[in-house]
Amino acid sequence: MCEQFMAKNTPTFGSYIQQLRLERQVGLRALARQLTISPTYLNDIEKDKRPAPKNDVLLDIADQLGADLETLYDLAGQSRDSIPPDIFNIMEKRTECIPLLRAINEYNLDESAIRDLTTNMIASNEKALIIAAGMGNRLQPLTEDKPKCMLDFGGKTLLQRQIEAYNACGITNIAVIRGYQKEKINYEGLRYYENTDYQNNNILGSLFYAEHELDGHIIISYSDILFESQVVQRLLQSDHDISIVVDIDWRGYYVGRIDHPIEEAENVIFDANNNVVQIGKILASEHDVHGEFIGMLRLSPKGAAVLKKHFHQAKTLHEGKSFQRATEFKKAYLTDMIQQMVDFGVSIHCVIIERGWKEIDTVEDYKNALREFKE
């Protein structure tokens, strides 16, 4: 069930529809006309005087207002005091899931066990994509003959540590985008993509050399972060179309950190529903900065399609020009694309963590992380 549906201040079906309509500045009569229903009927739905409509109207509402379909179904079920309507469709199409439901009932699995079972099923069908094309100039001379993801941590490279963290969560379908010193990254069992212009572009451009991978449930991560498997596990529990990992205990990382000052953090401001409001190199002195984007996000199939759509629209409009905080589009960070989508009304959810990761961006970062790793 969606986190938004589980929230303490859960909206009703009617208030959710009305909120989306007002956010998109669509009049009640205009929406009713688009849905081919009467304005009076739509008004009654928004005021919860009538139960949620039939499935075909639900699909039209999701399409017209960009609603999260699972949230819409859950709220519709609540409105009718019944099971969410999509469940019946699933049962009819996938009768093989009936024994699974009976097993859950027979063995009396509690909420925690069901959540673990769901997470494991999701992980077995999940992909990971690691962006590892950069030159790592700030880690010179350590990266003079290798990419930064090949730095050693206790006898294993940073990339191997990342792969282990993914594997521990059941994710074995992993691809890597190479560029600088690409021949040094050559582990078996991985798929590889090559960023042929890594000297001139940035993380966003690098990602789209592997656009072919953006077609299902997928986690995307920077190659210069050392993270625990629990971070991945937490991200897998999100059922939003686009989710980013945000550390709210981030300021402590910058104490005594000289070569990578706090002003360079990719900070995030999010609202009461943990949706991104602002992201990027926001002034850390601002009182409403809530956390730091760690360089990891997750897409559903729908989220992947949304990302690709906005990327190509932005590329058409901004190529050779400035884009968000980037001086030109090809120099854009992933956070620039996230902000662009937020500005266009795309909901991007923050998965909240407290520590459990480290960025390895400078020689100072590497030495500090290595010291803690050995301890």
pLDDT at residue 289, as a whole number:
67
pLDDT at residue 287, as a whole number:
58
- Residue 136 CA to residue 134 CA, distance in Å, equals 6
CATH class of residue range 120-374: alpha beta
* Domain boundaries of the chain, sorted by first residue: 3-95, 120-374
Fold of 3-95: 434 Repressor (Amino-terminal Domain) (1.10.260)
pLDDT at residue 6, as a whole number:
38
- Residue 75 CA to residue 15 CA, distance in Å, equals 10
Alpha helices, DSSP H only, in the chain?
Answer: 3-6, 13-23, 28-35, 39-46, 55-65, 69-80, 85-93, 98-106, 111-124, 158-168, 203-207, 229-236, 301-318, 334-343, 363-374
Find the radius of gyration of the CA atoms of the chain.
Answer: 22
Please tell me what DSSP assigns to residue 36: T
Topology match between the domains 3-95 and 120-374: no
Q: What is the pLDDT along the chain (375 residues), one digit of tens a residue?
A: 333 333 435 689 999 999 999 988 999 999 999 999 999 999 999 999 999 998 889 999 988 998 888 889 999 999 998 888 888 888 888 898 889 889 999 999 998 898 888 777 777 789 999 999 999 898 999 999 999 999 998 899 999 999 999 999 999 999 999 999 999 999 999 999 999 999 999 999 999 999 999 998 999 999 999 999 999 999 998 989 999 999 998 777 777 677 777 777 889 999 888 999 999 987 655 556 689 999 999 999 999 999 999 999 999 999 999 999 999 999 999 999 999 999 999 999 999 999 899 999 999 989 888 887 766
pTM to 2 decimal places: 0.75
